[in-house]
Each structure stands twice: as structure tokens, then as C-alpha cells.
Amino acid sequence: MEITELTVHELQEKIKNKELTISEVTKAYVDRINEKEKDVNCFITTLTDEALEKAKEIEDKVNKGEIKSELAGIPIGIKDNICVKGVRTTCASKMLENFISPYDATVMERLDDENLVNLGKLNMDEFAMGSSTEYSALAKTRNPWDLNKVPGGSSGGSAAAVAANLVPWALGSDTGGSIRQPAAFCGVVGLKPTYGLVSRYGLVAFASSLDQIGPITKDVKDSAMLLNILVGHDEKDTTSFDMPKVDYVASLKNDVKGLKIGIPKEFYGEGINSEVKECLQKAIEKYKELGAEVEEFSLDIAEYALATYYIIACAEASSNLGRFDGIRYGYRTKDYESLEDIYKKSRSEAFGDEVKRRIILGTYVLSSGYYDAYYKKAQKVRTLVKKEFDKAFEKYDIILTPTSPTVAFDVGIKSNNPLEMYLADICTVSVNVAGLPGISIPCGVDSNGMPIGMQLIGNRFSESTVLNTAYTYEQATKFRENFKPTFKK
Amino acid sequence: MQISKEEILHIADLADLNIKDEEIDKYILNLQDILNFANIVNNAPVDGMPETIGTNDNYNVFRKDEVVDFEDKEALLQNAPEKERGMFKIPKVIG
Amino acid sequence: MSRSDYETIVGLEIHAELSTKTKIFCSCPTEFGGEPNTHCCPICMAMPGTLPVLNEKVVEYAVKAGLATGCTISKDSKNDRKNYFYPDLPKSYQISQFDKPLCNHGAVEIEDDEGNKKEIGILRIHIEEDAGKLNHNEFGSGSLVDLNRAGVPLIEIVSKPDMRSAKEAERYMRKIKSILEYIEVSDCKMQEGSLRADVNVSVRKKGTNEFGTRTEMKNMSSFRSIVRAIEYEAERQIEVIENGGNVYQTTIRWDEVSGKTFPMRDKENADDYRYFPEPDLVAIRLSDEYIENVKKELPELPESRKLRYLNEYELSEKDSRLLTASKYLSDLFEGALKECGNAKAVANWILSDISRILNEKEMEADQIPFTASQLAKVVELIDKGTISSAIAKKVITELFENPQDPEVIIKENGWIQISDEGAIREVVLKIIEANPQSVADYKGGKDRAIGFLVGQAMKETKGKANPGMLNKMFVEEINKM
């Protein structure tokens, strides 16, 4: 098996047993990037030279016994909305095309503590707004399973890079499904942690009350390993939780006997593609076989949650993106006379259409006269969504849904109707609205060989249960052994 | 939900964005579409429910009043489109 | 109708910078001055991805201010974003408090224009962050943004529209200033902009209950301009109304040079701030215990100091009130008293010469350049007979110009009192010889004549002779005759 096809826990094992050296691993990935990146365009910035140097340095230190970390020298890719000191952090926007971050995100410090090697910054929809990565102003990422299809989004670069074996694992961010949906489209594992489990410090904000950083990996065990590194209270993020550490790898029991799984029938309605439904049905049967107690129930909040999501996310975004004003950093229009020119022209020229559309929507719902009808109402609906989930989790340990109504769609067919696009987020956004953990794992492919994702939702801070449920299915079905991306042209 | 041209231009102005004349209709249609959908929040059974600001029940997370100097001051200015004498330069603002 | 048929209504929003060591949401120093953009970090520069963390002292100081002004402290409070674009506001929103401020419903007492006690209501006190500074580019075109002040903590104290004249507004603001100084939450240095006010002015015909339309003047930072601006703006509004016009609710700008107000540009009047709860910060919930503890730590307030001065030092009611009106004067008094032990003398020096010089120089008490020990030293030197009161006056004046050890001042200027008996006797004999009439008057029973002779001798010695010795020696010499 090629080095780049190995999972991180397999790599780690081989490094430990001296079957592989740290340098060899990074070298294999750099070669792979040099070979395949041109087909998939996952990166905005590659750091291959730096990575090779860093790997050598870490290898020397490990050999001298100066570094003890078990993950030392493992490469990783980072979504380009996470700040890395001294490296370009663009958010795939013309606005930040040349922005060099003066500081490290907290998650980057945690990766550095473990001596991971950063292979580069990965493509995304501009400011994480989108579900196909086609809203990137800087690169056109393709789906490794079919190069005519989108990788999903907004963490499309991260998911495609993991699927294409350009990185062993990656960080993504998820505001309304941006880790889970591209993971589903690319046939990999994507975990959105409970809001507050991972520090947001250094994640360029889209919607502060919804954003979370999480792992995108080849398998569930790798997700658990990466999550182990990421979690923990950060005094720089007051919304991050201070709680005892859990070993998520240890929670992988490969056993779901007696686990109560709820199937919310509203998530399997008309809008869901029939092949996706069929595939999910088989997965549900599998869980029954594995000894889980599965039951259908009603969770009639999907549309409310979606409306609430777009109101809140856009409102927060309209404010969060105000700092991009062409004064301290970022794009400044070439042609200006007044201060107002700087503001309006810089912002209008450097933000893409979708970003501007969401800023306008967000400004509208916060503006005087509309605040009560939209924003304030949405905040109440948010309470309703949380309560409905609370009720569901009194009965069930896990809620099982499709990750996306469809598989990856063709490049360029992106609808001219934004609402239609927003409706495609219906399966994932309620998880963010309620602040819950959710994972997407592959559960099969459709008739065209495109992967289908299954979403498992847990109660707040029940990542252990979520991961174990996913792991048990994965061990029983071995998706990775049966299906591989083909780079079909 | 009907949005007028004046309204969309006012909103764009608040957001410090220019909308080109030929784009106005598109923005209005998109916004109306989305708002018509978003209006369902007004049918939700939320009477008497409190607002959720974040999904986080944390409170009183404070910092100690201790100075920590950020050392790499140059990095703070390195991205400035235009600077002079350690300050960000902008067109003259009448005070 | 005439001017006297109208009354002026004033409300103030006072902004005070808190004297914490660090900024409100990051660990940068709040220290005044410094090279531009050096008291900054990614957070207060609003670099993408950064997050605010609230400084615990800011909450404590705001609660102190609330308790000292009789406010109810809110147990459930939060931060909100106020959105607007301006180059001194790096995030393009100010983190402030909208509907759940930390403190509500307080009041302070002032005197109205007739000298009667009057209560001015306080609607609320909330915490927020200060903006940066726009500098005019002296050496080239454009303006330059310095963010050293961005993120310095402020409290905003919003009064009710309870003031009825410019002077009342001044007295109210002085009172707030004094309270904040006493509880040591702000140094209230107006010249550095750490205390300033947005002034709301309207007028109405006397006897009506409805308020008139108000205008707002932002960022006023001297008592003098506040008084002048209110007086001007009230007159202007009355004139508009008298001429059949309407006053419009706008933000206006006070121009100190022309002594007039001008409307601000439209954009700055478009105040749809789109407030919404700050999702990057969690709620503030203060327990009874917390509030009680802050209350216990409140230092002595002016009212209680005043009583102490009356009782312990037997100062007059008026002197006690004047001394305690400013914490800086009061601290100067107590500091000097501690060293020299002469309460009456210290009080006199502060309330006469020092206050007069402050007035002449248009300085506030916090700008007094010398220390309490230096003042104590002056009093001690008088008490020891080293200098006369006349010299002491000169020393005080000199202390304002060039604050240093009074003994050094005296030495450098050759102001040491002449207490040498031989030298004094020489002067006494000379004056007696030159003023036979006064000598005769004294002998004739007019004791006051001695005073005249001493005065002449002081003039002769440029105030350096010891007046006690002069007195004694004149009596001796005349009696010998």
C-alpha cells in the first residue's frame, strides 16, 4: 500500500516500528501533491519545502529523544480560514489574498505542541460561505471521485485533499455543515464538535455563535485522535468550555448493542434523493444487526432551523466582516479619493457575490424595523430547536440522518437561485443551531460511484458516543476497502 | 415581502457596499426570496420562549488585569495597504 | 415671548476611561501616550480570527461607579455590538451594552442655580470600549490612524434630562468627576480625553411638560466649552422657535474658536447601529455576594470626608466642602497634613493661594504639579520661622512653575528669613529713625503703629526678616527711648 493511502494511526504505527521515517512520510505526501494537486486544486498555499525541512528537524529531535509526542512528524493540511503565523491566510477571498497572519490560531499552537507538519492551506468557499467550494476566489477544487463534480463546501479543499491522499488528515470548520457535507461528498469522515469544545481563537469568523473547527480524516479513529489534540478550554475564547479531558480514542469500543438511535422522519422527506435514502436505509438495517435499538420519531424543526440559521449566520457575518475595510490589512481599491471610496469600493471589489448577498441579508435583518421580526424571532426559534433536540436526547443516544440530500453535483451547475442552494443545507444546519456534535461518515456510493454520507448527531459533549457509533459501523462495513476515488475525468 | 430599490440601497449603504444599477433587481429578488422563506420563523410556536444568544451556558469568563505585551509589533503593520510613521494612512478625514 | 419664557433642558452622557492596567478585551497596556500603534496586539487591531475576553477589573470598576452613584447593580448583564464604520473603530463595531447595562437607576445631588439641593437622575451606567485616534498628517496628505487608545475601557454614565442650565450641567459633571476620582476608577484627566461628555440640549416654554426636540454635541472635554456650548445652543434653539422654525434632532459639532455649533454631515447622523448581542462573549451574572464585596471595598466618599474635616480638624463647613469637592485637593490636604500636622494652615494654603493660581492658569486640581510633602514642607518652614508667609506665597507660586524641594527653592532664591539679631536690630533702628511719627503714635497708645513699622521693615528686607523678632525688637527699642 502507498504511504499516502495509510491512515494516521497506521502511519504512526509504522513510524513507531521504524518501518517508516518521519521524513519519508512527508516526502511521500509532497510527491503526491506534486503529482495530483493539478487535478484537484485543493491548496491555496502549499508549504512543501517548509514541510520537508520541518520534518527533517522533527526527525532529528525525535531521534535525539527531545520530542516525545506520538504524533510528531505527521503532516496535516489546514483550511485557509485558520490563522497560521507568518503564512498567508486568505479565506479564499480577494480581500485577504495577500494577508499574512501576525499570530497563530490556538488550534495551530496545539498542533505545534504535538510537532505536526503543516503541508499547506486548503481551499474553501470564500469566508466559508457556500457548499461547493466554487465560491472560492482563488482556486477551483474538484472532487477526486469525479473531477467534473464539486467537492462540497465550504471545507471542500480539506475534504478533497484527504480523499485524494494529498494530506493524511486536515482541519476544517463547520458553521452550517461545512465539515460534514464536503466529507460526505468526498467519501471521508468529518466531525463537527459541540460548540465550545474547540477554541475558535484564530478561526476567521463567519458566524461566531455557530462556527466550530473540526477534523476531516480518512477514518473514525483518526478523527478521535485529532480531536484529542484540538479540545480543551482556551482562555482566549470565552465560549470554549473548561471540562475534564476525555480520551476519544479510548471511547471507540466497536460496540453499539443497546444504543438507542432515533430516525427523525422529517429528515427523509421528498427533498432527499432516493438513492441517498436507500443507502441510509441499509445503514439503519446494519445498526439493527449490530444490536442498536432503532426507532423512527418526529423532529419537526428542520425548516425552522434552516430559516433561523440563515438569519443568525448572516446577521453575525454582516458584523464580523465589517473589519475588512481596506485600512489595516486586506484589499484596498486602487482608485479612491475619499474615505467612503476606500470602504465601499474596497469591499465591493474584493468580496464575491455570495459574501455580499449574505452581508446584505444580515444587515437587513438587524436593521431598524426588522430586528424583532427576524433576528429576535430567530433567537427564540433557536431556543425551540434546542428544546426539541433536548427532548429527543431524552429518548435517544444518537440521531441518524443523511448528511446531504444529494451526492456531489456537477461543477458549474450551481443554481442561480441562492435560496435553492440554502435549502440543500437542511440536514446539517440544525446541529449548529443547537450547538451539537455531528459526524458524517461514508455509508455507500450511488449508481455513479459517488459517495453518500450518513450523519450521526449526539447530545452536547457526547463526542465519545458519536465517535463510537460511527466507528462501530465503519468497522462492520469497511467502506475504505471497498471504494476508492478514481480521479475520473 | 416587497423590498424597494431605496431600501436595498439604504441597506447597502449601511453595509458600506456599492450595488451597481444593473445588479439592484437581482439583489432585490434574491433577498425577497430568502426573506419569504425565512418568514416561517414567525409561525414557529415560540411564545414566551427566551432568546438563545449562543448555545453556550458559560458565564462570567473574565481575564485578569495583567499586561501582556504583544512582541511582534511589526507584524501588526506588515499588511497595511498604506502606512506612514507607524500609522495607517487614509484620506483626510474632516474632524 | 422672550428668552426668560424658556427653560433649557440638558442631559449628559459622560464617558470616563477606566484606570485599569490593561484594555477591556485584551492584555495591552492602557497607559497614555507611547509611539503610535505600540500599545496594540492582534485583538485590539481587529485582526481576522481574534476574540475578545472581558477584563474582570472593568466589571468591578463599573460596579463601583454604580454603587457610588446609588445605582441598582444588574445581576444579569451582557455585551452587545454597535455596528458602524469609522477608521478609529477597527472591528467596525464597538462592543458596548444595549438593553442590559451593568447599573441602572441612580442619582447624585448637586446645587441648582439658586443654591438649593437638587437630585440629578442617572438612567444607567454601561461598559464599552474606546476608539482609536485619527491624527492629521502634519508632514503630508491624509489622516493617520493610531490604535493605542482602541479598546481602552470606558464607562458611559447616562443622566436623565434633569439639568435646567449650563451651570447645573457643569456642577453635575464636576460631581461625577469627583466621585469617580474618589473611588479611583478613573483618573478623569479631561486634557487627555479620559473624561468627556455627549451633551443633549433642548428648550421648552416654561410651564409645559413635553420635552422639545434635542440636539446632541459629542465628545466635549472641557467644562468651559460645555457651558458655552449649552448656552449658545439653547439660545440658537430659542431663536429658531421664536422665528417659527423647527429644531431637528441632529448631532451637531461645537466649534470652540467661533463659539458656534454646526450640524454634522449626514452619514454621521445615519444612526442605525444594528445592535445585537455579542456572540463572542458570554453573559455576566453578578451574585449578591460579589456586589456586597465590591461595596465593602469602596473607599471613603466625599460626604464622609467632609464630616471628618468638620469634626476632627475643626474646619468650617465651607472649607470642608471646598476641600472635598475634588479628590485631588482632598488628598493633597490629607497628605500634607500627615507630614506637618497643621490642618488649618494646609487648608488655608490650598483654598487661598493654590486655588487662586489654579483659577488663573485654568488648571484642574489633578494638574497640580507638586506633591503633598512639598506643600507640607512649606507649612513647616513657616512654622519653624525659616520663612515668612510672604515668602511662602512666592514659594507656592514657584512650586507651580518648577516643583522641587521648597528648601532648595528658598536657597536658590536667597529667601531665607533673617533671624540674626544684630542684622534685625540694624533694620529696626533704621526704620525707627525714618518714622518718628509712628514711634510717637505708638508711645501715644496706638498699638497699631507697630504693625506699620514691621511692614516697613519687611519691605526693607524684601520680606525676609522674621516678623516675630521684628515685632519684639520694635517694642524693645521704642521702650528704651
Per residue in A146-160, pLDDT (tens digit) is: 999 999 999 999 999
**Which helix (H) or strand (E) element contains residue A479?**
helix A479-482
Contacts of A24 (CB under 8 A, 6+ apart): A3
Per residue in A62-118, pLDDT (tens digit) is: 999 999 889 999 999 999 999 999 999 999 999 999 999 999 999 999 999 999 999
Active-site residue, selected from the candidate residues A154, A158, A173, A346:
A154
Has residue C216 got a pLDDT over 60? yes
State the nearest Cα–Cα gap between B22 and chain C, in angstroms. Answer: 25
DSSP, residue by residue, C78-141: --EEEE---TT-TTSEEEE-SSS-SEEEEEEEEE-TTS-EEEEEEEEEEEEE---EEEE-TTSS
For C160, the grid coordinates are 436623565
For C210, the grid coordinates are 413635553
C165 touching B (Cβ < 8 Å): no
Task: Name the amino acid, one letter, at C233.
Answer: E
Q: How much of chain A, in percent, has pLDDT values that exceed 70?
A: 100
- Helices then strands (H, E): number in chain C? 16, 17
Res C267: pLDDT:
52
Per residue in C54-104, pLDDT (tens digit) is: 999 999 999 999 999 999 999 999 999 999 999 999 999 999 999 999 999
A206 touching B (Cβ < 8 Å): no
- Residue ranges covered by each domain of chain C: 13-202+271-289, 300-413, 421-480
Residues 438-467 (A) with a CB less than 8 A from some CB of B: 460
Query: What SS3 state is found at A120?
Result: strand
Res B1: pLDDT:
72
A338 touching B (Cβ < 8 Å): yes
Number of other CB atoms surrounding residue C249 within 10 Å: 11
For residue C154, count CB atoms less than 10 angstroms from its CB and return exposed for 0-12, middle for 13-18, buried for 19 or more: buried
Has residue B70 got a pLDDT over 70? yes
Chain C contacts of A209, Cβ < 8 Å? Answer: 279
Mean pLDDT of C418-435: 84
Has residue A421 got a pLDDT over 90? no
Asked if A322's CB is within 8 angstroms of C93's CB, the reply is: yes
Has residue C370 got a pLDDT over 80? yes
Mean pLDDT of A309-317: 97
Res C416: pLDDT:
75
State the nearest Cα–Cα gap between C275 and chain A, in angstroms. Answer: 7
**Of A84, A95, A238, which to mutate for an interface test with B (greatest number of B Cβ within 10 Å)?**
A238
Contacts of A152 (CB under 8 A, 6+ apart): A131, A132, A133, A143, A159, A181, A182, A183, A184, A185, A186, A404, A408
Has residue C231 got a pLDDT over 80? yes
Has residue C154 got a pLDDT over 60? yes
B58-67, C271-280, C299-308: least confidently modelled range? C299-308
A154 part of the active site: yes
Residues 58-87 (B) with a CB less than 8 A from some CB of A: 58, 61, 63, 72, 75-76, 78-82
Res A433: pLDDT:
97
Mean pLDDT of A432-452: 97
Of chain A, the end-to-end C-alpha distance in Å amounts to 24
Name the pairing type of β-strands A293-297 and C276-277: unpaired
Per residue in A219-267, pLDDT (tens digit) is: 999 999 999 999 999 999 999 998 888 999 999 999 999 999 999 999 9
Does domain A3-258+470-482 fall under CATH 3.90.1300.10? My reply is yes
Per-residue confidence band for A415, with pLDDT thresholds at 50, 70 and 90: low
Number of other CB atoms surrounding residue B73 within 10 Å: 17
Per-residue confidence band for C263, with pLDDT thresholds at 50, 70 and 90: confident
Res A213: pLDDT:
98
What's the number of CA atoms in the CB half-sphere (13 Å) around residue A194?
24
ipTM greater than 0.90: yes
A142-151, B72-81, C210-219: least confidently modelled range? C210-219
Res B59: pLDDT:
92
Res C266: pLDDT:
56
Res C28: pLDDT:
98
DSSP code at position A371: T
Cα C134 to Cα A275: distance, rounded to the nearest angstrom: 61
Res C414: pLDDT:
78
Of A83, A89, A327, the CB nearest to C87: A327
C67-77 in b/e burial notation, b at 16+ Cβ within 10 A? bbbebebbeeb
Per residue in A44-71, pLDDT (tens digit) is: 999 999 999 999 999 999 999 999 889 9
Domain made up of C421-480: CATH architecture: Orthogonal Bundle (1.10)
Which residue carries 443622566 as its cell? C159
Give, to the nearest 10 degrees, the angle between helix C166-182 and helix C223-242. 150
Asked if B62's CB is within 8 angstroms of C54's CB, the reply is: yes
